[in-house]
Amino acid sequence: MREYLLVLFCTAAVTYLLTGPVRKFAIMAGAMPAVRARDVHREPTPRLGGIAMFGGLCAGLLVASQLHGLGKVFSDSSDIRALLSGVGIMWVLGVLDDKWGVDALVKLGGQMIAAGVMVYQGITVISIPVPGVGPVALSPTLGMVITVALVVVMVNAVNFIDGLDGLAGGMVCIAGIAFFLYSYRLWYVYQISEAAPSVLFSALLIGMCLGFLPHNLHPARIFMGDSGSMMLGLMLAVSAVSVTGRVDPDLITAQAGSQTAATHILVPTYIPLLLPLAVIALPLADLVLAVVRRSWAGRSPFAADKKHLHHRLLEIGHSHSRAVLIMYFWAALIAFGTVGISVTNTGRAVVLACAGLCLVGLVVLLLPWFRPKAPSAVQAFVPPRYRRGGRAAAGTEAAAASQAPAQAEQGAMAELSARDQELLGSLGTGAHAVGDRRQS
C-alpha cells in the first residue's frame, strides 16, 4: 500500500506543479476559445490542462518502475506499454482539438485507433467471469469489439460531463478510488496477481485528478480540455478491462469457502462489466440521454447543447458549487455502494445505507434554495454563505458596496455645483460692476 500511495502522491505533485506553467503556455499559444452559448463560464479560460496531467502520469510511471514491489507489473505484462501507446494517441488528439478543433467523426476514429493499439498490445477482455460456470471465453474478435466499445463509451462519457468546473476531474477521481479499493482487495486479500495492473492504473488516475483539481475548482483557472478528459476516460476503461476478464471466479470461490460468498465478492465483475458501468453511471446516463435527445430532434448525436444533467441542476436553482457536489454525491453513492456489496456477506446493510443516502440526496436535489448553516462554534472557519445571517450580511455588504460609488459621485457633484455657483456669483458681481461704470 505504501508504494501505491507514493506513486499517487508523486503523480499528484507533478501534475499540480506543471499546471501553472501549462496555463501560461496555453495563454501564449492562444488555446482560449471564445465563450460559447452552451458554456457556463463567463470569460475565456485556457485549456490544455491535459498536458500537465500527462506529465504527472509519466512521472508516476517512472517512480513506479523503480519500486521493488511494483516492478513485476512492468516485467510480467505488456500493460504499461499498451497504456502509454493508447494514452499518447488520445493525448495528441486532444491537444490538437483544444488548440485548433477536430471534427467529431475524426475524434471518434482516433479513439477507436487508440483502443485498437491497446488491444493489439494485450489489453483486452479475454473472458467474462461467471460464478459457478467459470470464465466464459470470448473469441479474439468479440473481445476486441467489447474492449473498443468500452473505451469509446468511457471516453465520451467523461467528455460529456466536462461542463462544470471540477466536475469531470472529481467524478473520475471517485471512480478511480472505487476501482483502487476493489482491485487492491482482489490482489492482496485473494492473491490474484492479474488485478495488480488495475491497482497501479487506479493510483495513477487518482493522482492525476487530485493534482489538477485545485486549479480546476470553481472558479476554474484552467480547463483540462479534451486532452485531459479523453485521457481520463481511456485510463478509466483500461482499469476496468485490466481487472475484468482476467479474474477466475473459481479461485475466489476456493478462497471464500462457498459459492454464495464468492457470488457477493464478484458482484462487480460477473454481471457484464457492472463495476465499470456503476462508477460512471451518471456520465453514462447523461451520454445515453444526450444521444436519444439529439437523435429524436433530428440532430447529430455529437451536436453540443445545454441540456446535460449538470445544466439542468443549474436551471432548477442550484449554484455552480452545489451542482458539482450533488453530482459527486450520486457518483460516490453508486460506485462505493457497488464495491460495498461485494465486500459484505449479504449486502443488506449496504443496501439500507444506500437507500437512506438516496433519500438524503433527493431532499437536497429538490430543495435548491436550502442553505445549511454551520454551528455557532465553527462559523469563523466556514465561508460566509454558511454562517447564520450570512446571506443578509452579504446582501447588506453588497448593497453598501454598490451605494458607495453613487454616494461618492453625488458628493463630487455637490462640491462641483457649489464651486460653479460661487464662480457664477463672482461673474455676476463683476458684470454688475462693469454695468455701473458704463452708466457713470
What pLDDT, in 10s, does the model give residues 177-219? 988 988 888 787 777 777 888 899 999 999 999 999 999 988 8
Residue 192 is placed in which grid cell?
490474484
Low-confidence residues of the chain: pLDDT under 70? 36-42, 129-135, 244-283, 300-308, 310-311, 342-347, 366-374, 378-379, 381-440
Q: Is 226 annotated as a binding residue?
A: yes
What pLDDT was estimated at residue 402?
Answer: 44
Q: Which parts of 134-280 fold into alpha helices (H)?
A: 140-160, 167-188, 196-216, 225-243, 249-256, 259-265, 267-270, 274-279
306: in domain: no
Number of domains in the chain: 1
Q: Domain for residue 12, yes or no?
A: yes
Residue 404: predicted pLDDT = 44
pLDDT in tens, 210-234: 999 999 988 889 999 999 999 999 9
Q: What is the pLDDT of residue 57?
A: 96
In a domain, 321, yes or no: no
Check if the beta carbon of residue 7 is closer than 8 Å to that of residue 70. yes
- Domain membership of residue 318 (yes or no) is no
Buried-exposed string 259-296: b where 16+ CB fall within 10 A, e elsewhere: eeebbbbbbbbbeebbbbbbbbbbbbebbeebeeebee
Does 294 fall in a domain? no
Q: Are 154 and 240 in contact (CB under 8 A)?
A: yes
pLDDT at residue 231 in the model: 94
* Domain span including residue 238: 2-278
DSSP state of 344: S
Phi/psi for 275 (5° steps) reads -65, -45
In a domain, 326, yes or no: no
Task: Give the pLDDT score at 370.
Answer: 56
Is 437 domain-assigned? no
pLDDT value of residue 117: 94
Task: Tell me whether residue 342 is in a domain.
Answer: no
What Rg do the C-alpha atoms of the chain give, in angstroms?
Answer: 29
- Is 159 assigned a ligand-binding role in the annotation? yes
Specify the pLDDT at position 85: 93
